[in-house]
């Protein structure tokens, strides 16, 4: 918003405060300030039960990003507009939305502002939260290889170990393995090939290789070989950490199996309710469409059709869908398309910058059509998400055998 953004918005909203209006407005500002204090310190929520306070503490893991939305939500809870069950569901959904987006590396820019607008427009329940959360399939795939965000929060909620004092993140395969580190008590780290070492380093920050461990035990475990750490794991009161003592070896397969087990628990805690279209339950939200590399088999007849803002489009593949989406946006909101293309370096340009496939757009602009399907999908998802229109596009996958 710039250096004076908040002040400028305030002046626009309240250009000439008068005593008569200030009496009412000041009371409202005061009530919001009290909610803000509760968000900063959930222990102040004397009007809420422990579960509400606990969920407020959890959501603070993600910082103040959702405060603009939560100010209105919690105030509605205080005023009796929504009940305890609704506010708890919203707090859980927000955590799921934010965490799932972080896991898959999806943008969270402008997310709070978009949800605030939808709350003012549609009220409750806030279904936009559900639609925007990445699917179970995307999350499961990402957790295999991507670093686990907010690892302490995630592992603590998975185990719910209670009050055990200070818990630290333990890297089972250590961050700095010594030449004598071993996962099976036989092969030492210095004997691993560069390819093997690279594979272990890739999974170092992933969920399957992380555990919660009491601070004194974590200090004792340090970079020791796996078999030498088992006594520390055995003494831990964290259930999933204690179970590590039963593992015979710590290798890539074991890590993959533990990742799968913890992912199953992850998806039960940070749920994403299924978004069904009343007319066709097989329609897939565009943000959940999976990316496939290159010109993959069957790409030309991948879809039966697409639905955009209630219109049925006869499109069979991503190339056609990409063209249709960008041309529709260009016809209706060209300024927004140009702003997106300027920040994303395409796909709309003022000239045909290089020899390839281009489609002319009205106004002497050109749409670059020479992308692989997975990049076309990424562009569709990115611009619709950026414009708060991702909820408007669904695809129906074809059942034809190619």
Residue 276 has a pLDDT of: 47
Compute the average pLDDT of residues 25-31.
81
Among 123-137, 214-228, 279-293, name the one with the lowest average pLDDT. 123-137
Helix axes 84-104, 111-122, angle to 10 degrees: 150
Rounded Cα gap, residues 371 and 388, in angstroms: 24
Give 65's pLDDT tier (boundaries 50, 70, 90): confident
Q: Is the pLDDT of residue 274 over 90?
A: no
Q: Is the pLDDT of residue 13 over 60?
A: yes
75 found inside a domain:
yes
| Cβ atoms within 10 Å, residue 35 | 21
Residue with more model confidence, 97 or 46:
97
179 found inside a domain:
yes
Compute the average pLDDT of residues 1-21.
64
The residues, any chain, with a CB within 8 Å of residue 7's CB and separated by 6 or more, are: none
Sheet of strand 348-349: strand arrangement: 348-349, 365-368, 358-361
274 found inside a domain:
no
Average pLDDT across the chain, whole number: 88
334 and 233 share one domain: no
pLDDT digits (tens, 9 = 90+) for 105-164: 877 777 788 788 778 877 787 766 666 778 888 899 999 999 999 999 999 999 988 777
139 found inside a domain:
no
Q: What angle do CA 357, 331, 288 make, to 5 degrees?
A: 70
Rounded Cα gap, residues 278 and 253, in angstroms: 42
135 found inside a domain:
no
Give 2's pLDDT tier (boundaries 50, 70, 90): low
Residue 278 has a pLDDT of: 44
In terms of residue numbers, what domain contains 386? 284-397
136 found inside a domain:
no
116 and 51 share one domain: yes
Overall number of domains in the chain = 3
214 and 254 share one domain: yes
């Amino acid at each position: 918003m710039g250096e004076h953004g908040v002040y400028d918005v305030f002046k626009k909203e309240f250009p000439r405060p008068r005593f008569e209006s200030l009496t009412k407005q000041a009371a409202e500002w005061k009530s919001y300030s009290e909610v803000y204090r509760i968000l900063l310190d959930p222990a102040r929520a004397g009007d809420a039960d422990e579960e509400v306070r606990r969920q407020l503490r959890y959501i603070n893991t993600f910082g103040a990003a959702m405060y603009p939305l939560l100010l209105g939500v919690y105030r509605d809870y205080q005023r009796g507009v929504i009940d305890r069950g609704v506010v708890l569901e919203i707090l859980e959904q927000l955590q799921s939305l934010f965490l799932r987006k972080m896991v898959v590396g999806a943008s969270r820019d402008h997310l709070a502002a978009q949800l605030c607008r939808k709350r003012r427009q549609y009220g409750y329940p806030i279904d936009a939260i559900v639609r925007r959360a990445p699917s179970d399939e995307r999350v499961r795939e990402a957790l295999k290889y991507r670093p686990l965000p907010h690892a302490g929060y995630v592992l603590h909620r998975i185990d719910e170990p209670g009050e055990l004092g200070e818990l630290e993140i333990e890297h089972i395969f250590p961050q700095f393995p010594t030449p004598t580190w071993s996962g099976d008590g036989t092969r030492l780290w210095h004997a691993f090939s560069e390819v093997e070492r690279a594979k272990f380093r890739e999974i170092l920050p992933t969920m399957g290789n992380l555990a919660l461990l009491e601070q004194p035990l974590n200090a004792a475990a340090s970079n020791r070989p796996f078999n030498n750490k088992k006594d520390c794991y055995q003494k831990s009161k964290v259930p999933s950490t204690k179970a590590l003592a039963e593992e015979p070896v710590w290798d890539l397969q074991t890590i993959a199996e533990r990742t799968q087990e913890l992912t199953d628990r992850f998806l039960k805690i940070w749920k994403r309710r299924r978004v069904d279209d009343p007319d066709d339950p097989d329609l897939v939200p565009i943000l959940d469409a999976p990316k496939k590399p290159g010109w993959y088999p069957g790409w030309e007849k991948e879809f039966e059709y697409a639905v955009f803002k209630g219109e049925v489009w006869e499109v069979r593949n991503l190339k056609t869908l990409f063209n249709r989406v960008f041309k529709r946006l260009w016809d209706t909101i060209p300024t927004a398309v140009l702003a997106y293309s300027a920040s994303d370096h395409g796909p709309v340009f003022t000239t045909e910058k290089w020899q390839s496939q281009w489609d002319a757009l009205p106004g002497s602009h050109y749409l670059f059509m020479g992308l692989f399907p997975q990049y076309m999908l990424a562009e569709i998802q990115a611009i619709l998400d950026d414009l708060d229109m991702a909820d408007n596009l669904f695809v129906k996958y074809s059942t034809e055998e190619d």
